[in-house]
Each structure stands twice: as structure tokens, then as C-alpha cells.
A and B are shown apart, each in its own frame.
Chain A
């Protein structure tokens, strides 16, 4: 078999998952690891979830929030810390170099809601990071895979858990990132991540993952994707939430 360049030995790494595992954030992360290992089979790489940072840990994924999340990021400044659950703007405003927030911020949810209200003031819809009935952009495939894995529909936290693993392992796949600290640098570059929302996704300087939000009406139907064209520039993901560092 013609191997890809010189990588014939299996390179194994761990992903430290810190925080509660009872919710959908962890289930999403589990699916992300399964898919990263699927890709890894073709590349000679494998990943294992652990509950603490070890000598072969590549990055940290966490469901911690608030001060506990701040402390985790401060304790491991050379590891990328993927924030799955905390929506508070304070996490983004602090602009920690190693903290990457995958779930949208409170302001992003509010901005999406406001854009919708300007477009259709009479129709109630809720802003979400994900919707389990979504079919566009191959969402059907991801929703099916998650439902088969977790036994329930994919929600915002589950999507964020999946995306947190995938965005980091995508950068590791090429073999160019040699250390956990280099992964932080790689994630801070203009990457092109497929979060299954039909648009290229990257991280802002404040660590927030750029993404579309969905507006879901009471009957469960997706009525719009934010940024909402016509209200703002539909192609400018930075019209949702804050892009800069500091308040």
C-alpha cells in the first residue's frame, strides 16, 4: 500500500474531556471522536477521550462554564481549550489565546433573534445553533449519525460538542501541527471548517467560532438562517455577536 508520505506508524493522542458527561455536549463530542478516528484509520492516527490532561493529550474539550472554565483555560495555557457549553459573552471578551468557544455567545443568539424580528415582526421564531430536523448542507447525514449514536435528536450543545472535536482534529489531520501549543496557533489562523451549516467557519480573535444561526418557528420549521440577507449582509458572519477583544 502506498502510504501517505512517511506516516506508517499509528500516531495516538488523547483528548482530555473535562466537565459533566451526562448532557448532550459530551455525546456530541463522542461522535466527533468516532468520526475523527474514522478519518484517522486512513491516516494512521487515533484519538481516545480521557478525563484529564496527559502527556499525549492534543487538546482539551470541556463542558465547564463560568469561573471554572476560566480557571481551566488559565491552568493549561499551552493547550487549546474548546468551550462547548458556556454562552456568556464574558468568555469571549476576555480573549484568552487558548480558549475557543464553539457554542454561539448570548449576543449572537440575541442578534439572530433581532434580525429575524426586523424581517418578520409578526412571526415568532427562536434562534438556535442547530436544528435536528435540518436537511440542507448534508445536515440530514449528521443528524442521523447523532441520533443513532445518542438515541435522541441533536441539539445546540451536541452540535457544539461534535464541532469542537472536529475542528481541532481537522487541523491535526495534516500532520503539520506537532504540539498542543501549535494547535492553538493553527486554530487562530483563517481556517475553513465545515460545521455542516453550508458556510466556511473559522474563529474570531476573541476565540468565538464564526457560524450561521437558525431561526426555528413554533412548529419546528426553520424559517431563516442568520445572518439574515436583506436585514444585514447575509455573507458576513461577523454581523452576529462581537468580533473584537475587550468590551
Chain B
């Protein structure tokens, strides 16, 4: 059972995906155990002069996220996510959060959940 976070332009599952990781306004989270949606704001990281990706990774780790769906992740943020044992799936540059999560859960290599 996992918490799946998607970088998003809004706070709801029908909002658009934000292709940025560190400077995304927030992350919409789907919890596969409870089937509930929630939201993690990322404003604090957006304003940082450096290390926004690291701050976002830290925030997701503290929220118990296991998977993140986003456009692309920089090398330092990728390191931080790996240290936090969060799996990052890049390549999500548009569409809605709900679709991104559905596609992820349906993908055969992830075995569905």
C-alpha cells in the first residue's frame, strides 16, 4: 500500500499535472490503502534560491510518500528521493493528476495495486 504524489498545478485530482518537481506549487496525493486524495503544498520550496528540489523531496519523505509522478527531477533531488526510498517516475508533462495516477496503477510493470 502506497501514497502516490503527483506534482500538480492545483490541489485536486482533476487539476493539471505540473511538470516541475522542485518548484511545483504542490503535490496531490493518492493513498492506495484508504483510496483517499489529499494535498501537500510546496510553496516554501518555490521561494528558495537553491535546493527547491531537495526541500520538496524532504517534504514528501516526511509525509510518507512512496511514489512521485512528475515531469523531470534534477540530479540532486533524484539523489534525495533515492535516499528517502521514494520511487520517482518522470515523463509526466501534462494531463490531469487523476489520469497520471490511473495510468501508473494500471501499468503492468508496477503490477497494479
Genuine A/B complex? no
Instruction: Give the interface of A toward B (CB within 8 A).
Output: none
